[in-house]
């Protein structure tokens, strides 16, 4: 997984949410909400993200390759 990839993440209660990869670190994937990604790109900064276990993250497709 690469920064900017769109993923589905299993969260508390078993539901899934759309998120964007900020960074993949071994068995942990740092993700953020799509609106945080867009704001970070606009503001030329690194997105604020939260780490999730790789086992809870499934890749969907890539968003337009704008680096944060």
pLDDT at 63 over 90: no
pLDDT tens-digit readout, 37-56: 999 999 999 999 999 999 99
Domain span at 14: 5-62
Which whole-number Å values give the CA distances from 52 to 21, 47, 66, in the listed order?
10, 15, 22
Q: Report d(CA 37, CA 15) in Å as an integer.
A: 21
Predicted local distance difference test score (pLDDT) of residue 45: 96
Rg (C-alpha) for the chain, rounded Å, is 11
Q: Is the pLDDT of residue 14 over 90?
A: no
C-alpha distances in Å from residue 25, one per residue of 41, 43, 49: 21, 24, 13
The model's pTM is 0.83
CATH code assigned at 22: 2.30.30
Residue 33 in any domain: the answer is yes
Instruction: For residues 9 and 66, give the distance between their C-alpha atoms in angstroms, rounded to a whole number.
Output: 21
Is pLDDT at 24 greater than 80 in this prediction?
yes
- Residue at 67 is within a domain: no
The domain total for the chain is 1
């Amino acid at each position: 997984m690469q920064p900017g990839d769109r993923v589905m993440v299993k969260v508390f209660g078993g539901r899934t949410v759309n998120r964007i990869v900020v960074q993949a670190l071994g068995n942990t994937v740092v993700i953020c909400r799509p609106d945080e990604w867009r704001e970070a790109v606009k503001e030329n900064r690194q997105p604020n993200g939260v780490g999730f276990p790789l086992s809870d993250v499934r890749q969907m497709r890539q968003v337009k390759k704008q680096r944060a």
